[in-house]
Amino acid sequence: MANKPVTIEISARHVHLSAADLAHLFGEGYTLAFKRALGQPGQFLSEERLHVEGPKGAFDSVAILGPTRAFTQVELSLSDARVLGIDLPVRASGDVKGSAGIKLIGPKGALVLKEGAIAAKRHLHLSPADATRFLLRDRQTVSVRVDGPRALVFDEVLVRVSAAFHTVMHIDVDEANAAGLTGPTEANILL
Amino acid sequence: MANKPVTIEISARHVHLSAADLAHLFGEGYTLAFKRALGQPGQFLSEERLHVEGPKGAFDSVAILGPTRAFTQVELSLSDARVLGIDLPVRASGDVKGSAGIKLIGPKGALVLKEGAIAAKRHLHLSPADATRFLLRDRQTVSVRVDGPRALVFDEVLVRVSAAFHTVMHIDVDEANAAGLTGPTEANILL
């Protein structure tokens, strides 16, 4: 079997905002301040933070990723969902229809979202070159093996291929803890 | 391949106390009150709760399991460890040498443990009859597959065989979240 190495990165809880929601929470004409570039081209961690609230609990100081998107999406773990007291579905990014409601509180306003909060389905960003090299196609699912004392094989890893992507796999903090990962880790795609 | 079904149960954070530590925290001669039987014969959830504290955070009302044991052991998840601010090793139950320190606070006293807190290594309790049926032996590791939208294969599952056991696999809350499990779930041992 050919070796298909991939780096796994851990996504902590974060928010993507639409331009309209950014204006509502931070004020008309507000622009997110660049703090640090993220792995995917053009994506960045902003200086701004939000208060995210559910019926049972809340998180202060949740990261906002830029740039703004077509719609607001809040990515949390199932552990977070328990703290907040919400019923969080596992969804591919962008698939927010009928997902969990959540309250966002910024310095200039608050928003009660009827949907938009998800646990991100674990996924593998692939550049077209790596998709060709690994014989993988957009939207298929693969399995990825992690070694170590909490070794496991993640099945149901959603493959996303785009010229806008660097190749990297993303999991959430629960998944990282289950696999004993604390930072970027080399893993292997199985097929 | 023969079918080797097993039920996975989720272990939430809990404490096992030695008789001496029980006396220190709850008073001389104190006995844990039976609340509910657990899956393993003789083990029970007690009515009592403890405050568990680390340098950065704490949990109120942590479950105490009975009966008392030869030594105190605090089983937490890696998510819990982050809240508490402790560096928690993944260990087999009983292997507490050099594990994380933690503070326990009861109604009659407090204890600063230099070691005793672990993230339990995922494990499979097997009755001798099922060990024979599944061709498994004490202390080996196996892999166990969970289906569903967060399907995965847990490797490094420690097998424990004892006449004192009912057959069941135990994982912690992080592992349950990573696999999308919310309660007892049927899985399959691979070999």
Q: Give tens-digit pLDDT for A5-31.
A: 999 999 999 999 999 999 999 999 999
Give the pairing of strands B73-75 and B34-37: unpaired
Confidence band of B112 (pLDDT split at 50, 70, 90): very high
Identify the domain containing residue A74 by its residue range. Answer: 12-120
| pLDDT tops 60 at residue A1 | no
For residue B147, give how far its alpha carbon lies from the nearest alpha carbon of chain A (Å). 9
Is position A28 within any domain? yes
One domain, residues B46 and B138 = no
Question: Best residue in A174, A181, A188, A190 to probe B by mutation, most B CBs within 10 Å?
Answer: A174
One domain, residues A101 and A132 = no
Closest CA to B74 of B28, B120, B110, B35: B120
Q: Is the dihedral of CA A166, A177, A15, B86 positive or negative?
A: negative
Residues in B closer than 8 angstroms to A150, CB to CB, are 90, 122, 156
pLDDT digits (tens, 9 = 90+) for B20-41: 999 999 999 999 999 999 989 9
Domain boundary among B120, B147, B175: B120
pLDDT digits (tens, 9 = 90+) for B137-176: 999 999 999 999 999 999 999 999 999 999 999 999 999 9
Is position B130 within any domain? yes
User: What mean pLDDT comes out for the span A114-130?
Assistant: 97
One domain, residues B102 and B180 = no
Q: Is B129 exposed, middle or buried (0-12, 13-18, 19+ CB in 10 A)?
A: exposed
**Averaged pLDDT score across all residues of chain B:** 96
In the numeric block, the tokens 């997902």 are attached to A99
For residue B167, give how far its alpha carbon lies from the nearest alpha carbon of chain A (Å). 21
Instruction: Verify whether the Cβ–Cβ distance B152 to A151 is below 8 Å.
Output: no
Instruction: Verify whether the Cβ–Cβ distance A150 to B90 is below 8 Å.
Output: yes
Which among B151, B156, B179 has CB closest to A151? B156
pLDDT at residue A2, rounded to an integer: 58
One domain, residues B131 and B38 = no
User: What mean pLDDT comes out for the span A92-119?
Assistant: 97
| pLDDT tops 80 at residue B95 | yes
Chain A and chain B share a number of CB contacts under 8 A equal to 59
Q: Where are the beta strands (DSSP E) in chain A?
A: 5-11, 14-18, 34-37, 44-53, 58-69, 73-75, 90-91, 100-105, 110-120, 123-126, 141-146, 152-161, 168-172, 185-190
One domain, residues A106 and A149 = no
| pLDDT tops 90 at residue B186 | yes
Q: Is the dihedral of CA B11, B179, B93, A184 positive or negative?
A: negative
For residue A9, give how far its alpha carbon lies from the nearest alpha carbon of chain B (Å). 15
User: What mean pLDDT comes out for the span B10-17?
Assistant: 98
pLDDT at residue B145, rounded to an integer: 97
Is position B135 within any domain? yes
User: What mean pLDDT comes out for the span A147-158?
Assistant: 97
Instruction: Verify whether the Cβ–Cβ distance B150 to A79 is below 8 Å.
Output: no
Between B92 and A1, the more confident residue is B92
Domain boundary among B120, B135, B158: B120
For the CA atoms of A43, A83, B60, B45, what is the dihedral angle to 10 degrees? Answer: -120
One domain, residues B100 and B170 = no
Q: B76: nearest CA in chain A?
A: A177
One domain, residues A110 and A135 = no
Cβ count near A191 (within 10 Å): 12
CATH of the domain at A171: 2.40.40.20
CA B143/CA B177 separation, integer angstroms: 18
Domain count, chain A: 2
Q: Which residues of B touch A (CB under 8 A)?
A: 77-79, 90, 121-122, 143, 149-156, 173-175, 177-180
Is position B29 within any domain? yes
pLDDT at residue A3, rounded to an integer: 79
| pLDDT tops 70 at residue B2 | no
Which among A77, A156, A178 has CB closest to B151? A156
Q: B90: nearest CA in chain A?
A: A149
Closest CA to B59 of A120, A135, A83, A87: A83
One domain, residues B19 and B96 = yes
pLDDT at residue B191, rounded to an integer: 72
Q: How far apart are the first and last CA of chain B?
A: 8
For the CA atoms of B124, B127, B129, B132, what is the dihedral angle to 10 degrees? Answer: 40
Confidence band of B86 (pLDDT split at 50, 70, 90): very high
Is position A4 within any domain? no
pLDDT digits (tens, 9 = 90+) for A50-84: 999 999 999 999 999 999 999 999 999 999 999 99
φ, ψ dihedrals at B131, nearest 5°: -60, -45
- Tokens encoding B63: 């479950």
Q: pTM here?
A: 0.94
Q: Is the dihedral of CA A23, A29, A34, A37 positive or negative?
A: positive
One domain, residues A105 and A128 = no
For residue B30, give how far its alpha carbon lies from the nearest alpha carbon of chain A (Å). 33
Domain boundary among B104, B120, B136: B120
Q: Which residues of A touch B (CB under 8 A)?
A: 77-79, 90, 121-122, 143, 149-156, 173-175, 177-180
Residues in B closer than 8 angstroms to A156, CB to CB, are 149-152
One domain, residues A71 and A163 = no
- Tokens encoding A81: 């969902």
- The ipTM of this complex is 0.92
Under 8 Å between Cβ of A95 and A118: yes
Is position B7 within any domain? no
One domain, residues B25 and B90 = yes
Is position B32 within any domain? yes
Q: How far is CA B148 from the centre of its chain?
A: 24
Is position A5 within any domain? no
Instruction: Verify whether the Cβ–Cβ distance B79 to A79 is below 8 Å.
Output: yes
pLDDT above 70 covers a percentage of chain A that reads: 99
One domain, residues A80 and A57 = yes
